[in-house]
Structure 1
């Protein structure tokens, strides 16, 4: 009898331990005793990760979209039952007012280092935070951006919300799709590529820790700012001219359109000798394609087709 009781106790302990799911989030480990039921995501790309995993019914809203960007038809359909709780970054009060138990955000994707909304400031209120992997470079040493960062987030979300099979299948499908495309892709010497996000006096661009670096490499190019030890940040036009990009990738969002950004570069005498300008080689990625999320695979295809032809 004593042996049976001990065995039962051990089995119960093991069962309770198994009930908790622990994932790595940047430099932290976060344990979830049960899947969140009142989740909030920030930004379009993070929200799409939630939607592609079928988690809308576990959400009470989203934040940080309409203040900068617009939703396409797919996104509008996905979140039509959910309120936008804040047009830009949410305050702590917004998250508490929604009675959230989970916040999917990132550093400079809804949270600022030293800001009022961080994993540490939300913990006392029972709101657990999972951080976008690409954004971890703002608080810890990290390898340069990789499509694996996006896969990692989908797989971790799958574990957090107990939809592991769906996440595994989704990532396996993305891997296979990209592998098939890469097998059929004929490239030459890697093209020199500049990512033009915004700014006229000084350009805001993607460095080695931002997702476009990985997308460009997968498409057969090289980000001319690959040695820029930043994620998204400002450089000088002099640096861009010196590195002479052969292609410019424009990130489309905000009040200044992609066409206006192209016109600015095409009409400015300072850029007249750039190979990209001389040959009018511009390609546009929507913000939701250029940042980590489900549309990264199609973004690689868009870039590769622009670099090397259909």
Structure 2
């Protein structure tokens, strides 16, 4: 096609096309011809990653927060200008209705394996998906969880949206803060045995080898008693918990059952009377947004360390 002078002029005024960017997303590589301008994030921790990178003006909304009652005051101001498109997981129609061009979610963080909203189902509609690194274990193999999972997401979002410098500065800050922090152990004390109690009374839902609390607990100087559980977030039996006898229980606070109600359930159940954490009433609460990958993980590590190594 021969370009007319007006078209050539328009192209010249518009400037060069943004550099193409390719990032790893679980078992895929995703290429972006230009930064997204109509992004949607699912869940409070993923949304905070977007906000901490200053990307609110690139978003058309968020999903999956009010349905789980995870929005707190610290977060509220950041999203007040954005609509919540869906209280829980969005449907494909919700994302299409928002004219989204990007969806930041994870497996069991806004997407389900075999569900209607996946990278494959959204691709024909021009909606690119970046998957939360921690969640990749649900669709394939990955290394044990570490702080590198969260850093990778910040770094990749920086590349996708063209804010690499800000992402790099954040990651360097997180690394420096963590390097300067050392759990205040007394002498040669062994790492405390820790159990993560997310939810459930019949059977507890907990964090295994691939869930973020394992990395947080280790950074704080403890050991997750379910470190050998080859799962991310999943259900175990109370018998396993009693047998492994945690010294400290980390309660994840969200949803309709409060952290205090979860603590009371364990404290008042005769079946748990011989657990060290129950005998010594050693519980510590992490908010959902602290226990899942995101900007508040460093704060969570310090909170855990204070509970593990009291002065």
Aligned to 2:128: 128
Displacement after TM superposition at 1:186 (Å) = 2.7
Displacement after TM superposition at 1:309 (Å) = 1.8
Which portions of structure 1, spanning 4 or more consecutive aligned residues, are displaced by more than 3 angstroms? 15-18
Inter-partner Cα distance in structure 1 for 2:89 and 2:219:
31
Is 2:136 aligned against 1:141? no
Aligned to 2:21: 21
Q: Residue 180 of structure 2: SS of its match in structure 1?
A: helix
Aligned to 1:83: 83
2:18–2:34 contact (8 Å) kept in structure 1:
no
Is 2:185 aligned against 1:186? yes
Inter-partner Cα distance in structure 1 for 2:248 and 2:110:
31
Aligned to 2:152: 152
CA RMSD of aligned residues (A): 1.3
Gaps of 5+ in 2: 1-14
Aligned to 1:213: 214
Count of aligned pairs: 295
| TM-score computed with the length of structure 1 as normaliser | 0.93
**Alignment deviations for residues 215-265 of structure 1 (CA, whole Å, 9 cap, x no partner):** 000001110000111000000000000000000000000010000000000
Inter-partner Cα distance in structure 1 for 2:232 and 2:147:
14
Q: Residue 67 of structure 1: SS of its match in structure 2?
A: helix
In the superposition, relative to structure 1, how do residues 84 and 133 fare at CA in structure 2: closer, same or farther (>3 Å)?
Answer: same
Displacement after TM superposition at 1:274 (Å) = 0.4
Inter-partner Cα distance in structure 1 for 2:85 and 2:286:
27
Displacement after TM superposition at 1:180 (Å) = 0.4
Inter-partner Cα distance in structure 2 for 1:48 and 1:210:
18
Is 2:297 aligned against 1:302? no
Q: Residue 85 of structure 2: SS of its match in structure 1?
A: strand
Inter-partner Cα distance in structure 2 for 1:99 and 1:17:
22
2:65–2:87 contact (8 Å) kept in structure 1:
yes
**Alignment deviations for residues 74-119 of structure 1 (CA, whole Å, 9 cap, x no partner):** 2110000000000000000000000000000000000000000000
Taking the TM superposition and a 5 Å limit, the aligned residue runs for 1:162-201 are 162-182=162-182, 185-186=184-185, 188-201=189-202
| TM-score computed with the length of structure 2 as normaliser | 0.93
Aligned to 2:118: 118
2:18–2:33 contact (8 Å) kept in structure 1:
no
2:107–2:135 contact (8 Å) kept in structure 1:
yes
Aligned to 2:242: 241
**Alignment deviations for residues 157-213 of structure 1 (CA, whole Å, 9 cap, x no partner):** 00000000000000000000011012x633521110000000001000000000000
In the superposition, relative to structure 1, how do residues 76 and 18 fare at CA in structure 2: closer, same or farther (>3 Å)?
Answer: closer
Gaps of 5+ in 1: 1-14
Aligned to 2:261: 260
Aligned to 1:10: none
Q: Residue 89 of structure 2: SS of its match in structure 1?
A: coil
Inter-partner Cα distance in structure 2 for 1:156 and 1:60:
20
Inter-partner Cα distance in structure 1 for 2:258 and 2:111:
26
Aligned to 1:40: 40
